[in-house]
Each structure stands twice: as structure tokens, then as C-alpha cells.
Amino acid sequence: MGLKTLIDECLDLLRKVEKEFPGEPDLEALHSVTGIYAELKKFRERINTFPIPVRVFSEFLHLVRGPDAEVAKFLDFLRNCPGAFCPSEKETFLQKRQRIAGIAGRAGLEPARLFHLLSMARLKGILDKKDVLMQEYSFLIAEYLGG
């Protein structure tokens, strides 16, 4: 099974968990893990069987909640310039924000949206502590984008 297929399946399961989660909890059903809770448990168990990079990348895609074309632009830019967001040692917070806002134009994204995507990538561990793309995600991005 290809990585793109795994990513799509994991994304589908993440969406199902979010969609199916009941607004008002039924404590009896929750404790006995029946009905919808049994289904949610099955979805979560299946999600946990995916390789960690696939699961993390799918969670990132699920969380960013943006137009597919916008996310694809970000991922393509990140894949082609994996160290573009790495700050210099003496760079201040304001200088970093200004530099990233400049990068947004090159990436074809709005600065606020780029900041959000970068934050989510950092949060999920797709970027390392220096804001450089982790090697294992470069291959996943290539597979996800189709080449």
C-alpha cells in the first residue's frame, strides 16, 4: 500500500472521529464502550496502527483546515526550501516575523496563513527546533503532492 493511500486513510479516520463524536456524552455507553463509542475506539485503534510519521503528517493536514491548494503551496515550498524558516542566531522576534512575511510572498501565501501553517508544523513535529523540515517528512510531502 502506498504512502499516499495510508495518509488518505488516516485523514479519513481522523475526520470520522471528529464528525462522529457526540455532543452530549452518554456516560453509560461511554463506560461500556458501546454504540458510537465502540466505533470511535475502533477508529482510534486503527489510527494508532499507522507509522508515526504518517500519523503525524495526517494529523497536521487535518488540523490546518485550509484550502487544499494553499496547504499544497506551503508543503511544496517547505519541501523545496527545507531550511527557509531557520532563524539566524542574532535574529530578533520582530526580524524573524518580517523575514517570514517576506517569504510568504515567495511561497504564494498570505503572511498570517503562513504563520499559522508554520506554527502547526512546529507543533506536530514536522519542523525541528530550528524550523527546518524533518527529513522523514520530506518524502511524505513528495508522496502526498504526487511526486
DSSP result, the chain = --HHHHHHHHHHHHHHHHHHS-SS--HHHHHHT-THHHHHHHHHHHHTTS-HHHHHHHHHHHHH---HHHHHHHHHHHHHSTTTTPPPTT--HHHHHHHHHHHHHHHTS-HHHHHHHHHHHHHHTSB-TTS-B-HHHHHHHHHHHT-
Q: What is the mean pLDDT of the chain?
A: 88
The yes-or-no verdict on residue 22 having pLDDT over 80 is no
Q: Do 95 and 146 reside in the same domain of the chain?
A: yes
Residues 133 and 69: their CA atoms lie apart, in Å, by 20
The yes-or-no verdict on residue 17 having pLDDT over 90 is no
Q: Domain residues for 59?
A: 51-147
Q: Do 13 and 57 reside in the same domain of the chain?
A: no
- Residue 39's pLDDT band, with cuts at 50, 70 and 90, is confident
pLDDT of res. 25:
64
pLDDT of res. 20:
78
According to DSSP, the residues that pair with 127 across neighbouring strands are: 133
pLDDT of res. 87:
86
Q: Is 136 in contact with 128 (CB distance < 8 Å)?
A: no
Q: For 40-58, what is each residue's pLDDT tens digit? A: 889 999 999 999 999 999 9
Q: Do 36 and 61 reside in the same domain of the chain?
A: no
Q: Do 136 and 146 reside in the same domain of the chain?
A: yes
Q: Do 46 and 67 reside in the same domain of the chain?
A: no
Q: For 69-123, what is each residue's pLDDT tens digit? A: 999 999 999 999 999 999 888 888 899 899 999 999 999 999 999 999 999 999 9
Q: For 126-137, what is each residue's pLDDT tens digit? A: 999 999 999 999
Number of domains in the chain: 2
- Residue 1's pLDDT band, with cuts at 50, 70 and 90, is low
Q: Is the dihedral of CA 131, 135, 141, 146 positive or negative?
A: positive
Q: Do 76 and 142 reside in the same domain of the chain?
A: yes
Cα torsion through 110, 81, 73, 85, rounded to 10: -30
